C-alpha cells in the first residue's frame, strides 16, 4: 500500500513538473522582474578581481518563460563576467524559467590597468530578451591603478609617494641597513595575509590633512570595518620605526615589536595615529619599547596594547577606548607584564601621562610585576577604569570620560566631560615641540590640557 502511495506521489510530482515546463507563455505582457535595476561595484584595484555580486531574475507569472537570450553587451572583451547555474558565460540562449521561480546571476569584474593615476569608471550591461521584451541591467565599477609589490625586499633607501597607491601581496621586507620613507598622503594596501617586516627603518610621515593609510586592498563597503584582513607591521630585533599621522586598520595586529632598540634611536615612535578594527591587538610588544603620543586605539579583539617580557613604554595624551562593538574581550585593554617565560623576567618601565584608558570591563589597565627588580612606574594625570586602588593618586578613577559618540567612532569629549582641563603640563617634555604641542586633530594644546588625544 505504501509503495503504491509513494509511486502515486512521484508520478504527480513528475507530471506537475512536466506540465509546468510545457506551458511556456509567449504573452508579451509576461515580463521578468529584476531584483536590482543596476549593479555598482565599489573601487577595486586593476588586475585584482572584485567580490561577487548577484541579481535575481524572477518569473512572477503562473507559466514558464523562455529567456531567449541573456548576455553581456561587451561579450568576451567585457571586464565583467557572469555565472549562471555554475557556468561562466558571456551569452546563453533559450533558458527556461518556470512560473513563480527565480534565477540568480552572479557577477564579477576584473579591470585591466591603464595609464590613469586616478579612479576611473568601467561599465557594461547584461541584456535579457524574453517574449520580445528587452531588459537591461547596467553594470558599473570604479577602477584604480596601483604599484603592486609581491614578496619584495627593500635593499636600498627607498621613497614611496602618493602618486599611486601600493598594493602588497605576501610580505615586504625592509632589510637591515635600508630605510623605507613613506610620504604624506601615501596609501598602502595589503592583500589577504600580507605584512611588512622591518629589519631596517620604516619612516612613515603623514600630515593631518594627508595621513599615511595602511589597510586592506578590499575597498568594497562591506569590508570597511572588517578586522583580520591582513597580518600587520612587524618590527624585528634589528628594526626601528617612526609612524606619524597615519591610519592603520583592519589587520590581525597593527604593530608587533620584538626586542629593545638595537641603537640609540627609539625602537618605535608612534604619534597622531588612529589604530582600529584589529582582530587581536593594536600593539604587541615582546621585551620591546614604544613612545606613543596623541594616538587613538579602539575596537581591537583582545587588547589595545599587549606588552610582555618587560620593556620601556611611554604613553602621553592617548585615548584607549575598549568599547568594542564587534569583540567580547576578557582581558584588560592595556596589559603590561615583566614575565618572559617561567624562568625569565625583564625590567618593566612605564610612563602613562594624560591618557584616557576606558572600556566595558571593570579593569582596563593591568600591570603584572613578578620579578624582584623594582619596577619604574609613573602614572599621572590619567583617566583610568580600574579595580586597582594603587592608581588612585594623581589620576581620575572610574569616571566616564563622556565621549561624544563612541558608537560612531567619535571619541572627542562632550561639553561636560570630566577629562577636560585635567592634564599635567608637558611643555618641558623633550618631544613637546615635535609631537605634543598639537592634538590628533592638529589643534593647539594648552595646559592644563584635556586628557586623551583630543584637546577640547
Per DSSP, helices labelled H in 338-391 are none
Is the domain of 197 the same as that of 125? no
- Write out the residue range of the structural domain in which residue 201 sits: 147-436
Query: Residue 16 falls within a domain, yes or no?
Result: no
Band (pLDDT 50/70/90 cuts) for residue 2 is: very low
The stretch 329-334 carries a mean pLDDT of: 93
The closest alpha carbon to 278, from 215, 221, 218, 236, belongs to: 215
CB 190 within 8 A of CB 217: yes
Is the domain of 137 the same as that of 152? no
Query: Residue 152 falls within a domain, yes or no?
Result: yes
Work out the number of other CB atoms within 10 angstroms of the CB of residue 11: 10
Query: Residue 32 falls within a domain, yes or no?
Result: yes
User: At 128, phi and psi to the nearest 5?
Assistant: -125, 130
* Strand runs labelled E in 28-161: 33-34, 39-45, 53-59, 65-72, 80-84, 87-89, 91-97, 101-109, 120-130, 133-144, 147-154, 158-160
Q: Which residues in 371-401 are b (16+ Cβ under 10 Å) and which e?
A: beeeeebebbbbbbbbeeeebeeebbeeeeb
Res 374: pLDDT: 62
User: At 276, phi and psi to the nearest 5?
Assistant: -150, 160
Res 15: pLDDT: 42
Is the domain of 253 the same as that of 301? yes
Q: pLDDT tens digits, residue range 118-166?
A: 788 889 999 999 999 999 999 998 888 999 999 999 999 999 999 999 9
Query: Residue 2 falls within a domain, yes or no?
Result: no
Is the domain of 113 the same as that of 214? no
Query: Residue 106 falls within a domain, yes or no?
Result: yes
Query: Residue 281 falls within a domain, yes or no?
Result: yes
Is the domain of 135 the same as that of 173? no
CATH number for the domain that contains residue 36: 2.60.40.10
Is the domain of 99 the same as that of 190? no
Is the domain of 314 the same as that of 370? yes
Q: pLDDT tens digits, residue range 339-395?
A: 877 666 788 999 999 999 999 999 999 998 876 666 688 999 999 999 998 888 899
Is the domain of 211 the same as that of 137? no
User: At 97, phi and psi to the nearest 5?
Assistant: -120, 115
Straight-line distance from the first to the last Cα atom of the chain, in angstroms, rounded to the nearest whole number: 84
Sequence-distant (≥ 6) Cβ neighbours of residue 406 within 8 angstroms? 298, 321, 323
> Chain-wide mean pLDDT for the chain?
91
Of 143, 165, 200, the last residue of a domain is 143
Of 119, 143, 167, the last residue of a domain is 143
Counting the structural domains of the chain, the total is: 2
Query: Residue 443 falls within a domain, yes or no?
Result: no
Q: pLDDT tens digits, residue range 78-111?
A: 999 999 998 998 999 999 999 999 999 999 998 8
The closest alpha carbon to 356, from 312, 313, 298, 311, belongs to: 298
Is the domain of 241 the same as that of 318? yes
Q: Is the pLDDT of residue 67 over 60?
A: yes
Query: Residue 176 falls within a domain, yes or no?
Result: yes
Q: What share of the chain is helix, strand, coil (3-state, %, to 5)?
A: 10, 50, 40
Is the domain of 136 the same as that of 164? no
Is the domain of 368 the same as that of 426? yes
CB 215 within 8 A of CB 194: no
CB 272 within 8 A of CB 245: yes
Is the domain of 379 the same as that of 326? yes
Q: pLDDT tens digits, residue range 299-324?
A: 999 999 999 999 999 999 999 999 98
Q: Is the pLDDT of residue 404 over 80?
A: yes
Distance, in Å, from the CA atom of 245 to the CA atom of 247, rounded to the nearest integer, reads: 7
The closest alpha carbon to 353, from 245, 284, 442, 436, belongs to: 436
Cell numbers found for residue 443: 589643534
Amino acid at each position: 500500500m505504501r509503495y503504491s502511495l509513494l509511486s502515486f506521489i512521484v508520478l504527480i510530482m513528475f507530471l506537475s513538473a512536466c506540465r509546468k515546463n510545457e506551458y511556456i507563455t509567449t504573452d508579451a505582457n509576461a515580463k521578468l522582474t529584476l531584483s536590482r535595476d543596476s549593479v555598482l561595484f565599489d573601487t577595486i584595484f586593476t588586475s585584482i578581481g572584485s567580490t561577487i555580486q548577484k541579481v535575481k531574475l524572477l518569473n512572477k507569472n503562473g507559466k514558464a518563460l523562455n529567456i531567449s537570450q541573456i548576455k553581456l553587451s561587451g561579450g568576451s572583451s567585457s571586464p565583467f563576467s557572469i555565472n549562471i547555474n555554475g557556468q561562466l558565460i558571456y551569452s546563453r540562449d533559450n533558458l527556461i524559467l518556470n512560473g513563480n521561480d527565480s534565477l540568480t546571476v552572479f557577477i564579477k569584474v576584473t579591470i585591466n590597468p591603464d595609464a590613469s593615476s586616478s579612479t576611473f569608471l568601467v561599465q557594461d550591461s547584461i541584456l535579457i530578451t524574453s517574449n520580445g521584451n528587452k531588459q537591461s541591467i547596467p553594470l558599473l565599477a570604479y577602477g584604480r591603478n596601483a604599484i603592486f609589490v609581491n614578496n619584495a625586499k627593500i635593499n636600498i633607501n627607498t621613497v614611496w609617494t602618493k602618486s599611486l597607491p601600493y598594493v602588497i601581496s605576501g610580505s615586504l621586507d625592509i632589510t637591515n641597513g635600508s630605510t623605507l620613507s613613506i610620504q604624506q598622503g601615501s596609501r598602502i594596501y595589503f592583500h589577504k595575509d600580507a605584512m611588512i617586516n622591518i629589519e631596517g627603518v620604516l619612516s612613515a610621515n603623514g600630515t593631518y590633512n594627508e595621513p599615511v593609510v595602511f589597510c586592506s586592498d578590499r575597498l568594497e563597503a562591506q569590508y570597511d570595518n572588517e578586522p583580520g584582513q591582513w597580518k600587520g607591521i612587524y618590527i624585528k630585533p634589528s628594526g626601528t620605526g617612526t609612524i606619524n599621522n597615519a591610519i592603520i586598520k583592519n589587520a590581525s595586529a597593527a604593530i608587533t615589536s620584538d626586542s629593545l632598540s638595537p641603537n640609540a634611536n627609539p625602537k618605535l615612535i608612534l604619534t597622531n595615529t588612529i589604530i582600529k578594527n584589529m582582530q587581536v591587538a593594536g600593539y604587541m610588544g615582546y621585551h620591546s619599547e614604544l613612545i606613543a603620543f596623541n594616538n587613538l586605539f579602539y575596537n581591537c579583539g583582545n587588547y589595545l596594547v599587549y606588552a610582555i617580557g618587560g620593556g620601556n613604554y611611554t604613553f602621553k595624551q592617548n585615548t584607549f577606548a575598549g568599547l568594542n562593538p564587534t569583540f567580547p574581550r576578557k582581558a584588560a585593554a592595556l596589559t603590561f607584564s615583566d614575565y618572559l617565560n617561567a624562568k625569565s623576567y625583564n625590567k618593566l618601565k612605564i610612563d602613562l601621562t594624560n591618557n584616557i584608558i576606558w572600556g566595558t570591563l571593570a579593569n582596563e589597565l593591568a600591570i603584572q610585576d613578578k620579578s624582584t627588580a623594582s619596577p619604574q612606574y609613573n602614572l599621572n594625570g590619567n583617566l583610568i577604569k580600574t579595580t586597582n586602588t594603587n592608581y588612585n593618586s594623581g589620576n581620575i578613577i572610574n569616571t566616564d570620560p563622556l565621549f561624544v559618540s563612541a558608537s560612531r567612532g567619535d571619541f572627542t569629549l562632550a561639553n561636560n566631560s570630566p577629562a577636560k582641563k585635567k592634564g599635567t603640563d608637558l611643555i618641558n617634555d623633550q618631544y613637546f615641540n615635535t609631537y605634543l604641542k598639537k592634538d590628533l586633530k592638529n589643534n593647539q594644546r594648552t595646559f592644563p590640557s584635556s586628557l586623551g588625544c583630543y584637546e577640547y
